Amino acid sequence: DTGVSQDPRHKITKRGQNVTFRCDPISEHNRLYWYRQTLGQGPEFLTYFQNEAQLEKSRLLSDRFSAERPKGSFSTLEIQRTEQGDSAMYLCASSLGIWDFHNEQFFGPGTRLTVL
Amino acid sequence: AQSVTQLGSHVSVSEGALVLLRCNYSSSVPPYLFWYVQYPNQGLQLLLKYTSAATLVKGINGFEAEFKKSETSFHLTKPSAHMSDAAEYFCAVSPRSNFGNEKLTFGTGTRLTIIP
Name the residue among A97, A98, A90 with its Cα closest to residue A115. A90
Predicted local distance difference test score (pLDDT) of residue B30: 73
- Report residue B62: phi and psi, to 5°: 80, 5
The contacts of residue B32 (CB under 8 Å, 6+ apart) are: A101, A102, B49, B50, B51, B52, B93, B94, B95, B96, B102
> Chain A to chain B, count of Cβ pairs less than 8 Å apart?
62
Query: Which of B25, B90, B102, B111 best probes binding to A when mutated, by most A CB atoms within 10 angstroms?
Result: B102
Quick check: A40 and B102 CB within 8 A? no
pLDDT at B99: 59
Chain A residues touching B44 at Cβ < 8 A: 43, 91, 93, 107
Per-residue pLDDT, B24: 96
Closest approach of chain A CAs to the CA of B45, in angstroms?
Answer: 7
Closest CA to A82 of A9, A11, A5: A11
> What pLDDT, on the 0 to 100 scale, is given for residue B97?
64
How do the pLDDT tens digits run along chain B, 116 residues long?
A: 789 999 999 999 999 999 999 999 998 777 889 999 999 878 899 999 998 778 899 999 999 999 998 999 999 999 999 999 999 999 999 877 655 778 899 999 999 999 99
Closest residue in B to A39 (Cα–Cα): B108
Report the SS3 class of residue B26: strand
pLDDT at B98: 54
Q: State residue A101's pLDDT score.
A: 63
Q: Which residues of chain A have pLDDT under 70?
A: 1, 99-102
Flag if B104 and A43 touch (Cβ within 8 Å): yes
| Pairing, β B44-50 against β B32-38 | antiparallel
